[in-house]
Homo-oligomer: A and B are copies of this chain.
Amino acid sequence: MANQTVSAWVGDPHGEVDHPVADCPVEVTLHALRGRWTTLVVRELFDGERSFGDLAMALPALSDKVLADRLAQLVAAGVVTRVREPGWPSRVRYSLTPRGQGLRGVLEAMWAWGQDTVRSGTTR
């Protein structure tokens, strides 16, 4: 997760790390993607704007509460934009921010590594 407060990534020397601190970039990313279902919600949004109902339909096993939690988390992380349409019935449009689009690279890296791992049969 986190590293020490100051030094860079593999740019050692990284001194003692007493605690996984929140301002480590890796920690920040992990935090944004934290929790079950999160990456799936993001993936849905890679395809474009979605409403709450759209997402609920695409992820049927995901409860309203958890979906709302995830969306709030993603909004707080600056990954997703939430736009409430005025009127009735109420409708909310969720879409990725530019930063959210930037997650593509991260998820692709994860996909590639996981793919290799599965192929090699080193599943845990």
**Chain A residues engaging chain B, CB cutoff 8 angstroms:** 1-3, 9-10, 12, 14, 16-20, 23-33, 36-40, 43, 46-47, 58-61, 73, 76-78, 99, 102-118, 120, 122-124
Contact = CB atoms under 8 A, between A and B. Distances in A.
A105 B114 contact: no
**CB-CB nearest 3 A-B residue pairs:** A25-B114, A78-B122, A28-B114
A59 B1 CA distance: 12
A55 B39 CA distance: 31
B16 A58 contact: yes
B123 A10 contact: no
5 contacts: A9-B108, A16-B60, A18-B61, A20-B40, A23-B118
A29 B114 contact: yes
Contacts of A107: 9, 26
A101 to B, nearest CB: 11
Contacts of A73: 124
Contacts of A14: 43
